Structure 1
Amino acid sequence: MTNFQTEKAIVRAHHDALAQAAPDTVTEILARHTTPNWHWRGMHPFHEQHGAAAVAATFWKPFLTAMTRVQRRPDIFMAGLNEMDSFESVWVVSMGHLMGLFDRPFLGISPTARIGMLRYAEFNRVEGGKIAETAFFCDIPHLMIQAGQNPFPPQTGAHLVQPGPATHLGLMYECQDPVAGQATLASINAMLNDMGSKNRNPNYEVELARTWNDDMIWWGPAGIGATYTIPRYICQHAGPFRQALSKGYRFNGHLCRLAEGDFGGFFGWANLTLANSGGYMGMTASPGPADMRVVDLYRAEGGKLSENWVFIDILHFLNMQGLDVLARLEIIQHPQV
């Protein structure tokens, strides 16, 4: 058992240093708290990178060039032992928004000169006093929507600037009761076991009520949206998802799953492989299976799950189906005549 304070301090120092970074200094700043062969996973179009120089060139330099006066505004900060490697490695998780002034183009998205909020979730594996591995998920389509460049047809849920936990207790900088974390992880695993059961209850509402509180909130990504209460969750997300994406469904597993206090979550690379039978997110039937890289973060209450923040690499999922959203954006803005 560990209190994770050392690992939390390393990640907080890393974030504090990044708060002072500029495009010409970010490589050196990233290198201070990461290993030389740091393994960084990012969403499309960033994908997997190794080392501070590659991560800086791929994400941070373009982002800090586009966004000025960036603030990290976390809503969840926690740490724990990774169930996926028999509770050997320590990971520190942060979730919230990177807020800045959207002053220059980013990935072909036109600037607004106004506040831009890039929603993010970040998992950091800390080993030997350094960050050795990172998964950085961010909601690029939501940034597009803020800039008036919505790439999707009308979504089934509502997408907002997603708030943090209703309890406002997600920033766990201090030691937490380990018993609470064990209970939260048990709630998450109970939900996953129901999802993976070969004998799933045909009444989806009854199944969900086993592991979710009725006032659950599913904070989904742009393109799908958020939804509130079990019946609306079924209507506005889970039902359409099951109907369109059950063909060839394969669960690939998670790379990290942990909990601390009332919060927990996981990510995979990719969590799911599935085929769109047609209609989902306005897409026609896909020519073959596509991967979903997903982060789920949860808040538990009373032995069940109450809130769920979800990040899906939708741009990668669509790209594997033949739709490159960012390339299409570039063509629209710079047509060849």
Structure 2
Amino acid sequence: MGDIFFQAEKQLVRDYNAQLDAASVDDMKAVQERFIAPKYLWRGFHPFHEIRDPQNVVDRFWSPLKIALTHMQRRIDVFMAGENSIEGHGGVWVVSMGHLMGLFDQPWLGIPPTGKIAMLRYCEFHRVEGGKITETAMFFDIPHLMMQAGLQPFPPQTAAHLVQPGPMTHDGLMYDEQDPKEGHKTLAAIDHMVNDIKTWRGGVEEPLVDELRRSWNEDMIWWGPAGIGATYTIERYAQQHSGPFRAGLKDRTFNGHICRIAEGHYGGFFGWPNLTLTPSGGFMGMPATGKPGDMRVIDIYRRDGDKLTENWIFIDLLHFWNMQGIDVLARTTGISARQETGANGATK
């Protein structure tokens, strides 16, 4: 496995972020050349999807975002690295999560500027090989930014809309070496939760809260995406997200994860897509469609003791509802994704 603390990979990503954040729009492509492998895969939420040219990532994502959010700064809440535990994928991945904050001075994706502080929730997974970044999953909550600009992309949420804080313990920035035993405990807690998600156990139906209590502490916090919101305690999580999610989505298929890692008391995963589900009506106040849709998800967790206690979630809800024939971005802003990004194959 090599360096079990992954300090070289962490430093490379820290240097990349620092230089990318400091670069002008004209200089970002030079930063890409220094840190990104020529054969590269960047995965981003709708309307960006997959981009395989490092320079095109600048043209389509970073440059327009930096022009829109002037004086943009990266405010990181979680930083960690680890060996991918998913069999057949492997590799060392470095993860950061937080907000990209700036002054919202120009339109982005048709979202009108406010001239005020705006914070784009993000989480990114970077795969590092041979001293270069070869893959990136860059997930970001566009509806959350839309709501900050006064738009309402979805019906009222079941939970709360907040600019979300980092960990309550303020220990998520793991720039230094961590005890591998703690990471193993966190990964075991995540694996247990993933394998225990079900509405039936041993052929007997059980209350949802009883299932949740096997994996979560009573004072859990679920920091969900805009359109669903954030919720606190097992009982309110069951009422305000998990229950409506299960009731409003049928034919749930788990497609697996591309990466799952843990370090210290933190861990997380992403898939592309993680889940395929069919809306049966009611979820997020939206109608039944009869069409299966994909959910691309990042989950980041904090463990306390033997159980999980905080969870930050990124779901590509714009893509999911676009697959149902509902273009939330276009109907809310009046600008289509293709018009704004110049993307080819924006719904692949």
Distance 1:185 1:87, change over 3 A: farther
Give the distance between the partners of 2:44 and 2:177, measured in 1 at CA. Answer: 29
Segments of 4+ moved more than 4 angstroms:
none
Give the Cα separation in 2 of the matches to 1:285 and 1:28. 47
Unaligned runs of 5+ in 2: 337-348
TM-score of the aligned structures, taking structure 2 as reference length: 0.93
Q: Structure 2 residue aligned with 1:328, among 325, 328, 331?
A: 331
Per-residue Cα deviation, 1:38-88 (whole angstroms, up to 9, x for no partner)? 110000001000121111111111101111101000000000010113683
**C-alpha distance in 2, partners of 1:330/1:99?**
21
- Alignment correspondent of 2:123: 121
User: Which deviates further from its counterpart, 84-93 or 236-245?
Assistant: 84-93
Matched, 1:300 2:303: yes
Secondary structure of the structure 2 residue equivalent to 1:117: strand
Structure 1 segment 179-198 matched on structure 2, within 5 A: 179-195=181-197
Partner of 1:252: 255
Equivalent residues in 2 for 1:212-251, closer than 5 Å: 212-245=216-249, 247-251=250-254
* Higher mean C-alpha displacement, 37-46 vs 198-207: 198-207
Distance in 2 separating the partners of 1:87 and 1:260: 18
**Equivalent residues of 1:126, 1:133 under 8 A apart:** yes
Taking only aligned residues, the RMSD between alpha carbons, in angstroms, comes to 1.5
Match of 2:281 among 278, 288, 305: 278
> Which structure 1 residue ranges, 5 or more long, are not aligned?
none
| Aligned equivalent of 2:29, options 6, 27, 30 | 27
Q: Which SS does the other structure have where 1:10 is aligned?
A: helix
Question: How big is each residue's C-alpha offset from its partner over 1:155-203, in whole Å with a ceiling of 9 and x where there is no partner?
Answer: 0000211100010000000000000000000000011111158636522
One-letter amino acid matched to 1:292 = M
The aligned amino acid for 1:259 is: A
Percent pairwise identity: 60
Higher relative contact order (CA 8 A, sep 6+): 2
SS at match of 1:28: helix
**In 2, Cα distance between the equivalents of 1:100 and 1:87?**
35
Distance, in Å, in 2 between the alignment partners of 1:308 and 1:163 is 11
What SS does the corresponding residue of 1:85 show, helix, strand or coil?
coil
Cross-structure match for 2:152: 150
1:203 aligns with 2:207: yes
Counterpart residue number, 2:143? 141
Residue 291 of structure 2, aligned match among 273, 288, 291: 288
Other-structure match for 2:38: 36
* Matched-pair contact (CA < 8 Å) for 1:28–1:52: no
Contact 2:78 2:98 in 1 (8 A): yes
Give 3-state SS (helix, strand or coil) of 2:251's partner: coil
Q: 1: distance between equivalents of 2:255 and 2:301?
A: 20
Q: Alignment length, in residue pairs?
A: 332
